[in-house]
Structure 1
Amino acid sequence: MSPPRAEPVLLGPDIDDLEACHGCNCRLWGDRCQGCAQHEVGAGHPERPARLSAALAGLRDAGLDDAIDLVAAQPAPLPAILRVHDAALIERLSALDELGGGFIDGDTAMNAHSFGAARLAAGAGLVAIEQLRAGTHRAALCVVRPPGHHATPSTAMGFCLFNSIGVTAAALVAAGERVAIIDFDAHHGNGTQEVFYESDQVLFVSLHQFPWYPGTGRVDEIGRGPGAGYTVNIPFAAGTSGDAYRHAFEAVVWPKIEGFRPTWILVSAGYDGHRLDPLAQLGLTSGDYGDLARQLVAMAPSGRLIAFLEGGYHLDSLASSVAATVGAFADVSVHAEEASSGSRADHVIAAVRAQHGLR
């Protein structure tokens, strides 16, 4: 079998002609203006449809049109969602859907299209598995919304309805795979952590701002029962730069990955750690995100890397950071900001290493 092509697959359900909507020359097969772009919960809400447009425009502006293949997502089957979520949650969201939407909490809401959008977002990873198993690509990025990593088995929260990365990981585990999830969103992925907290088949590693929403993600949250040691939290203070993330990858993430030996790596790619993002106070740049993406490509078995768009609410920095990620996936040089420098957060890294017995 020939090695997978460098071009990553991008999955999203929203448009069938990017040239018409964004002025570029690549295509996305699927229903026009369905699903993710129609999930909208009010003027001024930071998790808005313009995020998708910004991400795709960033790829165009970086000259990545010919470096990617775009494929439509499909809705996740309900049995796949039920591997992760309680039936009661699905029933509650379905009931809100029938009413045309409503608020779940102060931050999280639905309109008449949100339930379908969440199923499409959750299904994107399942299609990505099929695409990568075909052996034609080495990575995939699911450009979808709403995000998912805050959704717990029983609760939609933090802008998230279904835990898309969790649905994908659970499908892989059901097929006998070992899955590592790397979450670099500025906010701790509490939902993903809860889903797999007692599993030794999923390694969950989160790098996030702390203390910050949702208040979880301390160093001593390491898993429970068979899952003890398979949850790794790396909590950074506000203002943390890319040097600390690179140090964390070298001193914690790489050793844990090498010890776990996953057959797939999934990534919660949140870009709200960018220095310009309004919903966090970290100090990353698009260059830092490119650095992290290159390391993820090196970590993952060939053709076994899937990333999911999570946070990122400053549109320009979202665009440039997604482009830096896809450029790294495709092994194409793109213009990005300089990587940021600063404290290596030695005390945090030392605490995490001690908690997990890394010597």
Structure 2
Amino acid sequence: MKKMLSLAAMFAVLAYASPASAEIKFGGDASVRLRGQFEDEQLGYYGSYENNEDDLNFAYRLRLKASADLGSGYFFKALITSDNAAGGWNTVKDNNSEDGEIDISNLYFGRMMENSHYMMGRLPLNSMNNPIFDLALYPIPTAVGITGGKTIGIGDIPVATYNMDRIFGLNYGAKIGSGELNATLIVLDNDAADNNGSGEGDGLFNDGYGLHLSYKATLGNVTVEPQAIIALTNVDGLVYENVTPYIFGANVTIPAGKAKIGLSGFYTACDDNGKYTVGGAPADVDYSGYLLRLKGEYGPFMAWVDYNNTNDKTNSGDINYDNLFVWAQYNFKVYESAMGTFSLTPIVRYWAAGKDYNDGGQND
């Protein structure tokens, strides 16, 4: 406790003692969206079940980006948006009763130097272009009802949608050879702080920590970025708790004339004694899975297709989860100036998810 108070006092003295001030610059974007969603669900678990739902809704989103150059490479950045809505999108409700509150989503500071940098805080992930965190945090879809009646899985960019595309961490990067190496200590959860009861851990290290490593380099015209996420302590997920999974793979970007092709492949596995997140029952957790992505960009057009398969053998079970996800968009720039742009972007998403109990098709 004394060290924590001393550190807080030191920051306060530095803040008040400095006569200098930095200019905070603001930018961002404002969007409105008309979305049609069409769902077709068929279940064979303990009988047959079919459900079809069609929905048309309006939504809006505001994202304010703040940044400050403090000199000598020191900087501060923040993102303010609606953190209580999926992806920051506020959907219009009955009688326009929705509350579009805005909160601090990203907030981090650091220093950029000639051959290295460091930063800490709530860091942006850019997960739509780097799906390793989708596989790390959502290897197994949640059951309907756990998340308010909605199944959440690798399909439909879950980290960008439900984790707001950010994570708290401490990052250090340095130029090594022809590329850049980045190491980020990430905080995945915050468990109980005491250590009085059996099985609670050692107090300070009850929290879930992981290490994200990446090295990005260009080989000729091809950009290669191998990555890995390693759980350093027991971490908690939406389906299983107290587990230590690992994930590794790579992103590859290949220019092809005016087009750009992206390839991604990641693998995850976990074999641990944990417990179910809902209910807390003990579980002999054993799963493995992979995620493949093929992406193409040509001018204002962008599309990608994801395929994921995860096999869950927890508690001697044998369940296969399959996800096929397609995203395609085209950006029309209606107006553009030095002050900003006004654009229209039609987007098509398609998500097909399957669950196979490997019992001959009786309960799928």
**What TM-score do you get using the length of structure 1 for normalisation?**
0.28
Q: Which has more radius of gyration?
A: 2
- Of structures 1 and 2, the one with the larger relative CO (CA 8 A, separation 6+) is 1
Q: Which structure dedicates a bigger proportion of its chain to strand?
A: 2
Q: Which structure dedicates a bigger proportion of its chain to helix?
A: 1
